[in-house]
Structure 1
């Protein structure tokens, strides 16, 4: 009897121990997988920063700040999904230069959490943009070489649509300023050329260019007057655009002139052959239309 009781007690202890271990294991798994309140708050911050209208750089910085502090597997997975989402958005929005910058500057430094397809796409984009950037650097070196050699005739005929306009304009103005200084000295035109150079230019020989400009113009004055020039240029462009929109219709106008007038492009074009050639009716609404005969405006109704 005692032996049977001992066996029963031993069996009971083993069962209770097993149940206890299972409960502890389940609790441990739950604790390891479910995000804590703090982790949920971190995930909320990441979610906000992952939105399309927020800075991707902010997201990657925040991710790097929190990711190693997560203890919950579920929280880490959620953060990693957001990481993939932000990178995917940079790719689908074709913001390749931004992606290249974030990658080369070390902001995208957790490639291990990206899907294989994203890693492949990122590597390809980075390689393509690097190739473009290297080509631009070579072109900039070529322009500076022309300037250094004093080959100003080549400089005046230089054109390139792959370089950023501000970069190209700054380099050309730098070369033209050197030419003007050598030929005519410190003229008003020389100073105008200096002030056409972007003080924020950070490309090849940027320190040398800045030293050249500040030899004749104080840095603060350079920055201030450059901003004024840019703002005036923008205002002038806006003014011209407004002036174009306010051009009234006149008999004899060409189609292009009408398009650039307040009427703009039509909703529909109807073409009618005539004895004199071709007549076109440009329809803007049920009652608003104009007529071209042989490509010249001959009348309108509004």
Structure 2
């Protein structure tokens, strides 16, 4: 009997010890888990604060040193931090040309629209600022390039004018016209036309329309180099007023021809883009079709529907019921 009680007490003691150990192990596991969660939370808070303060280098170093912490959107934020560093470096760079497109491609890969975290507004503001900086840079670069071209053109024009005048004085008119481009400014255009007119006169063809064309294209109001010589030559053939009238008439012919050609091209494009009438086409679509507007419309209204017959040239007809094409006769 005593032996049985001793055994029972031993078993009870082991059971209590086992429960105590199990409870202790669970408590230790919970402690480790909570500690890990606290570390992750602390790490996330630290990273987030760097990003809030826009301390990009610190944020980058933190990310490099982090050891498998469960930080929300870590990959996206890591890319965002690198982009901000690259963008700042590009903004402060004095090298040209500046390459914005690689950074823009990385921004687009971030998928800011799909991101719903704390820094969405910051990311959107950065994207807009980056795009503005990018566009402003390209516009400034374009304007600078244009100014550089204009300056180069001025230098070229100055040299060509001097060379052409020298050749004209030496009566080398064809060489003079070949040495200057008329498109730089009004002075190069005037000297170019004057040189060609003198070449025509030298060849005995000063009565031709080509000679007239060259002198006519020099406005009577021209007052720069060789203006006196040009005026004297023009007055040998007709009054300055008549030269100006001829120029106005010539420009009107050119303007009318240009307008006619533009209208022709527009019509051809419209015809190419339009389609022939087809069953099921609406009334408005029929108006825009290749058949255009009809010469006449016969309309019949009944209790159930409104029927129309659109009459076209060459005995062509289109029938509509309640505004929809139901039959076509050609």
Range of TM-score over shorter length: 0.3 to 0.5
Structure having greater relative contact order (Cα 8 Å, sep ≥ 6): 1
Larger Rg: 1 or 2?
2
TM-score by length of 2: 0.32
TM-score by length of 1: 0.35
